[in-house]
Structure 1
Amino acid sequence: MSFQSRTGLRFHDAPPPMKKSIEDRIADHARHLGFDAIGFCDASLPDEARARLREFVENGRHGTMSWMEQRLEQRGDPKALWPDVRSVISLGLSYAPEADPAETLDQPDTGTISVYARHRDYHDVLKGMLKHLAQFVVRQDVGGDGTEVKVFVDTAPVLEKPLAEQAQLGWQGKHTNLVSRDHGSWLLLGEIYTTLALAPSAPRAGSCGSCTRCLTACPTDAFPSPYKLDARRCIAYLTIEHEGPIPVEFRKAMGNRIYGCDDCLNACPWNRFAATSRHLKLQPRADLMAPQLDTLARLDDAGFRTLFSGSPIKRIGRNRFVRNVLIALGNSGDPAHLPLIDGLQQDENPLVAEAASWAKSELLGGAQNE
């Protein structure tokens, strides 16, 4: 259809808008739900990623995380976990902090908690959002009949970072974590496996270049070389995953880090592009920004559970947590904590009692040297 204007020019009706692809529709809905990054890739991993995983485990660098070796094949191949999967939808949620995560490191009477653990448990937040997106994907007008999906958030044998890299959310940096051009090192990851054949996302540029700031920032030299991590030396592993006494050689380097460590993440220069997280459920709790060590050390099991209800910290239990706090007290240099530490030497849990004995020895040694 067309019409003639008074000037004699002929105008044609505008063509109908192009129908959006299924990938665009999914991406639009993901952003509507609050996701900050989304990408698509085939349900396969490059040989390099599988080889890196196998080397990590065979060299024992996974420490006591035996679950990594028990499901090594499934972790290295999405189809070994779910034979029907064809594509992976990789999602990222920014948790970029407003304040400098390192600002409490020089406050020896307070504890430093990793940024991701200062707010609600991200597993719950992210899984709820992923389920909503999965429901959209299987709708009749989207995926259609027979579409199946499975949702994962750091609770199954899934190589999240290599998949996110394939889906163009970023790249694995020299600290082995994902780095995003838009969000720096502050992305929480989740995945939707699906039977749909989705078009892979277009490549995006980005790399670490010659930068090694993350490697030199590590307090315990946990990186034997770029792109390789020895978890047994990592403060995040030692304070969260390691169940026994923390090796003495790493205790001084822990400083006042009582749950996790952000040093390598925080050092990344790509973080200058990261805007503060806008998600209400990922806003930090005021009482976890610079908690007093002496208050935390007094927690019994009930008090610990109450304080950390809805927090990822709850999963390590009171004994491991107070172990970490006692090491921080030993590093504080303040003899005023000795009466509290004396009492914890008699704690019924041997892990706590041992950490208290070490802390007392450190404080007494420091006092004698003054």
Structure 2
Amino acid sequence: MKLTKRSVSERALELGFASIGFTDAKPFYDHQMVLEARKSSYDWIYKLGLDLSAGIDPKAILPDARSIIVVLAHYFDRRFPPEMENHFGRCYLDDDRVTRDGLSLKIKALRDHLLNAGIKTKIPFHLPHRVAAARAGLGTFGKNCLLYANSAVARGSWILPIAFVVDAEFEPDTPTTGLGCPDWCKNACLICCPTGALKGPRKIEPRRCISYLTYFGEGLTPRELREPMGLWIYGCDHCQNVCPRNRAWLALAKTFPINAAAEKMMPYFALPRLLHMDTGYFEAHIQPHMFYMPSSELWRWHMNVARAMGNTLDTGYVPELIRAFEENADERVKSMAAWALGRIGGAAARSALDRFRSKVDGTLKDEVAFALTLS
């Protein structure tokens, strides 16, 4: 049976995808120019083994490529517990790339539908999915570099584009590759980015992005970034939360039923548990949902949690931070625990820092001394 655009679209919507579009299999040369112009900002991706340039030409991925089918999945169609929204990007609270019990099943079902009709597919991780989605007429870009749907999630950015490179030809849809921000918006996302990662419309310095800093940043977080990173532990939604294009969906979200999977995860993500978790706890309860940091980088989780605790200014966390300083062997974690104690302040925090100062030396001694200036 030969599939048509209509039949493929009907099946995609039946499976629960938010929308679907089609584009040709021509190379993404414009995107290649962007990558080359910003090479220094993206060297870290190549070091991780992700060759973005290899995804420019769909025919290098599937030699018989003739079209690209792009579907949009909305990851924010249930309300998340506020305790988790404050610390974790929403897309990670509904991420099944390890558990494969949600979106992955829908993707497989659509892929099987195409395969049963004799259509070969590839879903490359390095193809520019957002650009492909815009070329397929599914959305426009925001100044924050994110894709905003033309119809799904009240035209917001709470979407994940998935691109299927296929060896069948479908009539391409009209591209919508431009900037879609309203003229009256006075750069809300650019102004509000706490770490200054957004350098201009559709221009980002990824190494200053809070999401990058939480799971890829090297070493102890620099002092000047600790307070601006706020409560984020893994990921960041700040530029989406302040964006007027997302206002309608955020208002609707207050009426949504709770995301049951995220609610079930919530007890395991309590900050004191994360601060003191060991490898077994991490691998059993955390890594299946947030996997960019391996077990060998557990220190980064501890450090991020300590910083977030400090930025709550909640004196209830002081005993936990003291324990982390005393029990955690990693100097980066100890340094951040000290900083967090100084940030929270108070007699108990200062007393602990005074005690620690006489027992440490080197960089850690400097961090404790600096923390005392804060308290």
Q: TM-score, normalised by structure 2?
A: 0.78
SS of residue matched to 2:312: coil
Kept in 2, the 8 Å contact 1:113–1:288? The answer is: no
Give the one of 198, 214, 225 matched to 1:239.
214
Q: Is the contact made by 2:12 and 2:20 (CA closer than 8 Å) also made in structure 1? A: yes
What is aligned with 2:357? none
Match of 2:159? 187
| One-letter amino acid matched to 1:133 | L
Aligned AA (2:149): S
Deviation of 1:351 after TM superposition, in Å, equals 3.5
Could you say which residue in structure 1 is the equivalent of 2:30?
48
Q: 1:221 — aligned with what?
A: 196
Match of 1:78 among 40, 44, 58: 58
Q: What secondary structure is seen at the aligned counterpart in 1 of 2:105?
A: helix
User: Contact between 1:38 and 1:91, CA under 8 Å: does it hold in 2?
Assistant: yes
> Which amino acid is the alignment partner of residue 165 of structure 2?
Y
Amino acid at match of 1:237: Y
Q: Does the aligned pair in 2 maintain the 1:122–1:312 contact within 8 Å?
A: no
Superposed, 1:159-308 pairs within 5 Å as: 159-182=128-151, 183=153, 184-203=156-175, 207-210=180-183, 211=185, 212-274=187-249, 276=253, 284-285=262-263, 287-288=265-266, 292-308=270-286
| Residues 194 and 98 (structure 1), Cα distance of their counterparts in 2 relative to 1, 3 Å cut | closer
Mapped to 1, the partners of 2:131 and 2:267 lie a distance apart of 31
Asked whether 1:139 is paired with 2:108, we answer no
Residue pair 1:149, 1:194 contacting (<8 A) in 2 also: yes
Within-5 A mapping of 1:98-137: 99=79, 112-121=87-96, 124=100, 125-137=102-114
Q: Secondary structure at the match of 2:76?
A: coil
1:66 is displaced (CA, Å) by 2.8
Larger Cα-atom Rg: 1
Report the equivalent of 2:334. Answer: 353
Q: What is the one-letter code of the residue matched to 1:242?
A: G
Identity %: 28
Q: Following the alignment from structure 2 to structure 1, what is the Cα–Cα distance between the partners of residues 264 and 115?
A: 39
Q: Measure the CA separation in 1 of the matches of 2:26 and 2:310.
A: 47
The answer as to whether partners of 1:341 and 1:356 remain within 8 angstroms in 2 is yes
Would the aligned equivalents of 2:25 and 2:59 in 1 still touch at CA under 8 Å? yes
Between the two structures, name the one with larger relative contact order (CA 8 Å, sep ≥ 6): 1
1:3 equivalent in structure 2: none
CA distance in 2, matches of 1:235, 1:26: 38
Match for residue 92 of structure 1 among 63, 69, 72: 72
Higher helix content, 1 or 2: 2
Alpha-carbon distance in structure 2 between the residues aligned to 1:203 and 1:282: 36
- Residue in 2 aligned with 1:12? none
Q: Which amino acid aligns with 1:247?
A: P
Change (3 A) 1:171 1:279: farther
**TM-score, normalised with respect to structure 1:** 0.79
Aligned equivalent of 2:12: 30
Amino acid at match of 2:14: H
SS at 2:204 equivalent: coil
**Distance change in 2, residues 1:265/1:41 (3 Å):** same
How much does 1:41 deviate? 0.7
What is the DSSP-based 3-state SS (H/G/I as helix, E as strand, rest coil) of the residue aligned with 1:121?
A: coil
Unmatched segments (≥5 aa) in structure 2: 351-371
In the TM superposition, residue 308 of structure 1 has moved relative to its aligned partner by: 1.9
Asked if the contact 1:40/1:198 (under 8 Å) is kept, the reply is: yes
**Deviations 1:269-318 (Å, cap 9, x if unpaired)?**
23245465989988532553995422321211212222226313574543
- Quote the offset at 1:95 in angstroms: 1.7
Partner Cα distance (1:31, 1:326) in 2: 43
CA contact (8 A) 1:121 1:312 kept: no
2:358: which partner in 1?
A: none
Give the partner amino acid of 1:325.
V
Partner SS, residue 237 of structure 1:
helix
Indicate the RMSD between aligned Cα atoms, in angstroms: 3.4
